[in-house]
Amino acid sequence: MDWQQLKEEIIAYSRTIGIDKIGFAAPDPFTEMKNRLIRQQELGYQSGFEEKDIEKRVDPSLIFEEPRSIISIALAYPSKMKNAPRSKRGDRRGIFCRASWGTDYHVVLKDRLDKLEQFIKEKVPDAVCRSMVDTGELVDRAVAERAGIGWSGKNCSIITPEFGSYVYLGEMITNLPLEPDEPMEEQCGECTKCLDVCPTGALVGPGQLNAQRCIAFLTQTKGFLPDEFRDKIGNRLYGCDTCQTVCPKNKGKDFHLHEEMEPDPEIAKPRLLPLLSISNREFKEKFGHISGAWRGKKPIQRNAILALAHYKEEAAVWELINVMRSDERPVIRGTAAWALGKIGGNEAYEALLEAKEREKDPDVLAEIVKGLAFFEAE
């Protein structure tokens, strides 16, 4: 078998199925990454969503028998929404991060990886391949970095010269000895923009993220959002793009190469108020196909309430009172109480006083007290 020729055929084929960049890496253990992950774990900087077993994350041979190469792929996603509706007083809107626009990228990338696997198996019938996107054991970014897809930016994203950091990553481990590519030189230079603008100080150093402080992670949690982050979340319903949008390497990068990734503005930038009373079925119908829905509707609703508080949206007061009085979920009732205090006004005050007498859940009661404290501070 002429492996170099196969590699070239794989590259050529990948272009025909909508893979925007492809690279090849050796399957050696990611030793440097291992030390970094251990440090992250010791510092409590991990999100908790990642594979728990660090050994599996850094050593391809523990999850694949005799790996010979890893193919890394990248698909560029849009950074600008056409016809984005405006968020205005009385009709406020939230925002899903760019990586959650259009069809769930896990589905899109899996489609491309499946096609690639099929192609490889036609050429080499005894090829063994194992693909993963995001939820697999390996760290997509580490593989992409080694495969020369891009460099690892100080904002922890992989930055490609062609598409900036607006790329989805996936990989395939194979038993084929495909020649590895060279990693790319780091090109952040003296820039520190992402570290400077991160609203929560989650980028604790160049390329070092404390996920517990990162809004992208915090928007996905299901409990009460810790107080210190409630004013920082803005109108974000899911994810955070700030350290990418400020990156000079992303300037002018806006690619619309995949129909599936085009955002529906009513989904990617939805009205906030209707989210408060959306049923499970409606939520699934409207948002079920996007990656930002993977944790269900509760975190999105909690974030929508915080976004209404951020806007001090008076038009939402009655709906928030309704939620505080009758929603079954303490996190939602309590967040609504806090938001009512933040927005203010007589109706909100009276409703909080009344709720304080009636509410039994201690966590919700604590939020009601916090809500009332906003009035005392005035």
Active site residues: 134
Q: Does 237 bind ligand SF4 (CB under 6 A)?
A: no
Out of 178, 188, 272, 307, the residue judged to bind ligand SF4 by CB under 6 A = 188
Out of 99, 243, 275, 290, the residue judged to bind ligand SF4 by CB under 6 A = 243
Q: What CA–CA distance (Å, rounded) separates 19 from 109?
A: 9
Q: How far is the CB of 158 from ligand SF4 (least distance, A)?
A: 10
The interface region with ligand SF4, picked from 26-34, 196-204, 256-264, 308-316 by CB under 6 A, is 196-204
Out of 240, 317, 352, 368, the residue judged to bind ligand SF4 by CB under 6 A = 240
Q: Does 204 bind ligand SF4 (CB under 6 A)?
A: no
Query: What is the b/e burial string over 150-184, where b = at least 16 CB atoms within 10 angstroms of the residue's CB?
Result: bbbbbbbbbbbeebbbbbbbbbbbbbbebebbebb
8-13-15 Cα angle (round to 5): 105
Q: Does 184 bind ligand SF4 (CB under 6 A)?
A: no
- Which residue number, 269 or 333, has a Cβ lying nearer to ligand SF4? 269
Q: Does 203 bind ligand SF4 (CB under 6 A)?
A: yes
Out of 133, 198, 276, 339, the residue judged to bind ligand SF4 by CB under 6 A = 198
Per the listing, tokens 């996107």 go with: 133
Residues numbered 30 to 69 that lie near ligand SF4 (CB under 6 A) are none
- Which residue number, 203 or 352, has a Cβ lying nearer to ligand SF4? 203
Q: How far is the CB of 44 from ligand SF4 (least distance, A)?
A: 16
- Which residue number, 191 or 366, has a Cβ lying nearer to ligand SF4? 191
Q: How far is the CB of 369 from ligand SF4 (least distance, A)?
A: 28
Number of residues counted as binding ligand SF4 (CB under 6 A): 24
Q: Within a 10 A sphere around the Cβ of 2, how many other Cβ atoms? A: 8
Chain-centre distance for alpha carbon 131 = 20
Binding mask 117-156 for ligand SF4 (x = CB under 6 A): ------------------------------------xxx-
- Which residue number, 76 or 173, has a Cβ lying nearer to ligand SF4? 76
3-state secondary structure the chain: CCHHHHHHHHHHHHHHCCCCEEEEECCCCCHHHHHHHHHHHHHCCCCCCCCCCHHHHHCHHHCCCCCCEEEEEEEECCCCCCCCCCCECCECECEECHHHCCCCHHHHHHHHHHHHHHHHHHHCCCCCEEEECCCCCCCHHHHHHHCCCCEECCCCCEEECCCECCEEEEEEEECCCCCCCCCCCCCCCCCCHHHHHCCCCCEEECCEECHHHCHHHHCCCCCCCCHHHHCCCCCEEECCCHHHHCCHHHCCCCCCCCHHHCCCHHHHCCECHHHHHCCHHHHHHHHCCCHHHCCCHHHHHHHHHHHHHHCCCHHHHHHHHHHHHHCCCHHHHHHHHHHHHHHCCHHHHHHHHHHHHHCCCHHHHHHHHHHHHHHHHC
Q: How far is the CB of 354 from ligand SF4 (least distance, A)?
A: 36
Q: How far is the CB of 53 from ligand SF4 (least distance, A)?
A: 25
Residues numbered 206 to 235 that lie near ligand SF4 (CB under 6 A) are 209, 214-216
Out of 29, 44, 223, 248, the residue judged to bind ligand SF4 by CB under 6 A = 248
Q: How far is the CB of 185 from ligand SF4 (least distance, A)?
A: 13
Out of 194, 304, 336, 339, the residue judged to bind ligand SF4 by CB under 6 A = 194
Q: Does 191 bind ligand SF4 (CB under 6 A)?
A: yes
Return the sign of the alpha-carbon dihedral for residues 87, 306, 329, 364.
negative
- Which residue number, 203 or 368, has a Cβ lying nearer to ligand SF4? 203
Q: Does 92 bind ligand SF4 (CB under 6 A)?
A: no
Q: Does 242 bind ligand SF4 (CB under 6 A)?
A: yes
Residues of the shown chain interacting with ligand SF4 in the complex, contacts defined by CB under 6 A: 153-155, 188, 191-194, 198-200, 202-203, 209, 214-216, 240, 242-243, 246-249
